[in-house]
Structure 1
Amino acid sequence: MDDDIRTAAEAHEDDALPRCHEVHADPNTANAGDQPIPRAVKDTPLAKKSPAQWAYERVVLYLRNFEEQLDADQEVAMGFTGGDAGVLRIEGMGYFDPDIVTFYGTDGSGGRTQLVQHVSQLNVMLRALPKPVERETPSRIGFRLAQDLDGDTPAET
C-alpha cells in the first residue's frame, strides 16, 4: 500500500483509462498495451461508450500492433474462429451501437466479404497474408483505423 493521497477525480480518471496486460514467451514481442492510446479512446469516459464502440477501439489497437510486426510483403487478415469460413483480408471495420462490430474485406478468392458480429460473440484471430502481387506496398488498415480514432485524416495506403 502506498502513502499517496489521490482525489476522487484522479481515481475516477484512472478507472476510465484503458488497461491492457500481456506476457509473451519472447520478451521482445511488441505488446498492444505498450502502444500510444489514441485521443478518442482515452478522452471518452468508459461509461459513455457502448460495448460496440469499446470493442471496436480495442480491436483497432490490436490490429495496429499486429501490423507493426509484419514485413513489407504481408498484410493483416482475420481468420474465422469456430468454423471453416476461411479468412477475411481486413479492408475496413466499424461498429453499430450498442452492440454490433463489423469487418469488411475480401476472402481468399478475392470475393467481397463482411462479418457482422455481436460483441458478446467477438473472436478475432489476426493472420498475416502475403500482400497481393499487383500492390506495390502492403495496406495497413490498423494504422488508418487508429488515425481515425485520433480524429486525423487517414493517410492513403
Structure 2
Amino acid sequence: MTIQHDIEHPWYRQFWPWFLILLPATAVVASIYTMIIAAHGADDLVVDDYYKNGLAINRQLTRQQEAKTMGISATLQTEGRDVSIRIPERFSFAQLRLRLSHPMEADRDMTLALHRVAPGIYQSKLPQAISGQWIWTVDVGDGSRWRLDGENRF
C-alpha cells in the first residue's frame, strides 16, 4: 500500500489544515473579546474593606433614626433637569445636600446642593437628565446629625 501525495496542491491550499487551524483560532479571538467586555463592563459591587463599610452602615442607620425622631421627611420630585425636595416647613436650612446614586454604575453618581426657594422647598438643576431607578440621600452636609434615604424611578 502506498500513500499518494497530491503534488499539484501544497498543504496551504487544502481545506482540512485551515479548518483545523480555524477552530482554536476562533476560541482565542472569542476569549480576547470576552476579556475586553469584562474589563469595560466591570461591576462596582465588590468592596475591599467590609469591616469599615459595616461601621459606616451603622452610623447611617443612627442618622436615619435621628431624622425619624426629629420628624423630618422628604419627597423628591424631578421635572426634566429640575429636581426639588419638599420637607416639613418647620425645618429651615440654608441648603441641603442631595446625593443620587445609580444602583449599578458608580460613575453615574452625583452630589447636588439644593437651595431653598420657599419654606420647605429646595431646588437644583441636574447636570443631565436621568432615567431609571436611583437611590437618593438628603442631609445638611458633613457632620449632619440626620439623614434621609429613598428610592425613585425617574
Query: TM-score scaled by structure 2?
Result: 0.27
Higher relative contact order (CA 8 A, sep 6+): 1
Larger Rg: 2
Query: TM-score scaled by structure 1?
Result: 0.27
